[in-house]
Amino acid sequence: MANSQFVPACIMFIANIVIVNIGAAIGGWPNGHATFYGGACGYADTNKQGYRVETTAQSSALFNNGQTCGACFERIQTNGIWLHVAEKGTGPLVLLLHGFPEIWYAWRHQIEYLAENGYHVVAPDLRGYGDSDAPLNHNSYTIFHIVGDLIGLLDHFGQQQAYVVGHDWGAVAGWNLSLFRPDRVIGLVNLSVPYFPRSPTTKTTEAIRQIFGEGSHVIQFQEPGRAEKAFARYDCMTVMKKFLLVTNNLIAPPDMELIDYLETQSSLPAWLTEEDIRVFDKKFEESGFTGPLNYYRAMDLTWELLAPWQGSKIMVPMKFMIGDNDPGFKSGGTSEFVQGDEFRSLVPDLEVVIVGGHHFIQQENPQEVSSQILSFLRTTKVTATNLCPPSKNASANWCNPPSKHFDLSQPMFLKIAKFAAARIVPIHFQRVPCFKRGGIKFYLGVRPNFLLVLVDNVGGAGEVVDVKVKGLSTGWIQMTRNWGQNWQTGGGLEGKNH
């Protein structure tokens, strides 16, 4: 009836990636809710395919073609090189970034676990490692190159944002990706290497030399060819065992090469098998260690280039984990720094978790680390932004003025998006690499009329090609563009809900 309390209505649109804002009449709604119900690639109408209106935008089942790839591997062109990636699962994107000396396989436990829990997991071999390209010049390994590679990965997968999880050098990459491009990071989980402030006067290698001396692995790795020559005295399996099972500081005594100083364990712990080591061994036999060592050789150049970010903070939500027996945790004041106020001043939205294990905790303690990662992914807040015009003129009928932002836990919209007294209802969903149909089912409170829809296309204007609206008992009413992605009916739905 025309004077009913609620007016059910639907919108249909064809698009790739959009935020839909549903505008109400002046005065707003005392209550209202909106639910995304359609648009999986390959399905004309997922509401009819069994998803129903209760399943909304970030359900891992919605944004794929109904297929899972199992364990997929591919090489992706990014930032002028090719990166090899392991990929599994569907849902929100999670990047897993390994450290030294590892490859994607270091995340084998987390790849399975996160994919099973509704995430699209991508674990690259970082540049210089495994099956990825390895530029010869160490100046091609600054943190700017590494972050550029990661931005290219996000673009390749069509994602404006992703969760990022890093270990060791992968943590350094995660810190700096969040520093340079916080708009591309939903939340960050880093393992083993905290975010240290940049010295304004002392280069990185000189600072390390002052604290740890010439025997530090960072110092020994600086000279091109030195570490490679020392490593070559051992077979690759032994080199991998020495590093993966390290229990002491990476600081060699005077006149001794680090690789000779590191112990070779007589037996393997339960968490690391001969088969595991052979996976690493095969790739490092093929690609060598020069690419990974070049990260260290570019540290001072990175220090120079980071000057504009002197004193900058990491402003994304963040969880940091470190093993209680990590040699790096127990030396150089790291334990005090990680658990003190300075770290939190640099990373305001920080949670610190100390887990059982040494340096390679994602392999040594996979159950706890994986569980900690998942809990962070599920509780990280994402702000859905109202896309009203910037004017706060109270007479603006459809904005009146822009509403405040609101937060939804990740994965977004696994439950129906509900809130009270809304003037603008943002519905935010993922990019799908093909055209599709989808829709919003919504109820307008008190005001039984429909004014307009603003479809703001995150991927670039023009991809939204058609918008229709219908009442409870009407047919589909074609909407027309007003301006940009502002679509209107030319009339309300009053009296059309019976």
d(CA 93, CA 47): 24
Give, in words, the CATH class of 72-379: alpha beta
Token couple for 270: 């339960």
3-state DSSP call for residue 234? coil
Q: What residue ranges in 24-126 does DSSP mark as E strands?
A: 31-36, 72-78, 81-88, 93-97, 120-124
d(CA 168, CA 350): 18
Residues designated catalytic: 168, 296, 359
3-state DSSP call for residue 156? helix
Task: Please enumerate in sequence order all residues whose Cβ is within 8 A of that of 111, keeping only pairs 6 or more positions apart, or say none.
Answer: 71, 86, 88, 89, 96, 104, 121, 123
Per-residue pLDDT of the chain (498 residues; tens, 9 = 90+): 333 333 344 444 443 333 333 333 333 333 333 333 333 322 223 333 333 222 222 222 223 333 333 346 788 999 999 999 999 988 899 999 999 999 999 999 999 999 999 999 999 999 999 999 999 999 999 999 999 999 999 999 999 999 999 999 999 999 999 999 999 999 999 999 999 999 999 999 999 999 999 999 999 999 999 999 999 999 999 999 999 999 988 999 999 999 999 999 989 999 999 999 999 999 999 999 999 999 999 999 999 999 999 999 999 999 999 999 999 998 888 999 999 999 999 999 999 999 999 999 999 999 999 999 999 999 875 443 333 333 344 443 333 333 333 333 333 333 333 332 333 333 333 333 334 455 555 555 444 455 566 654 433 333 466 777 776 666 777 777 765 556 777 655 554 433
What residues does CATH 3.40.50.1820 cover in the chain?
Answer: 72-379
How much is the pLDDT for 380?
76
Task: Please enumerate in sequence order all residues whose Cβ is within 8 A of that of 317, keeping only pairs 6 or more positions apart, or say none.
Answer: 186, 187, 188, 349, 376, 380, 381
Does this model's pTM top 0.75? My answer is no
387-to-20, 35, 156, 485 alpha-carbon distances in Å: 9, 18, 26, 12
Cβ atoms 353, 385 nearer than 8 A: no
d(CA 23, CA 26): 9
3-state DSSP call for residue 369? helix
Token couple for 494: 């009053």
440-445-448 Cα angle (round to 5)? 90
How much is the pLDDT for 13?
45
Task: Please enumerate in sequence order all residues whose Cβ is within 8 A of that of 273, keeping only pairs 6 or more positions apart, or say none.
Answer: none
How much is the pLDDT for 54?
28
> Residue 68 phi/psi, 5° resolution?
-120, 145
98-101-287 Cα angle (round to 5)? 105
Tell me the Ramachandran region of residue 479: left when phi exceeds 0, alpha when psi lies from -120 to 50, beta otherwise: beta
Token couple for 277: 């080591």
Query: For the chain, how far is it from start to end, CA to CA, in angstroms?
Result: 5
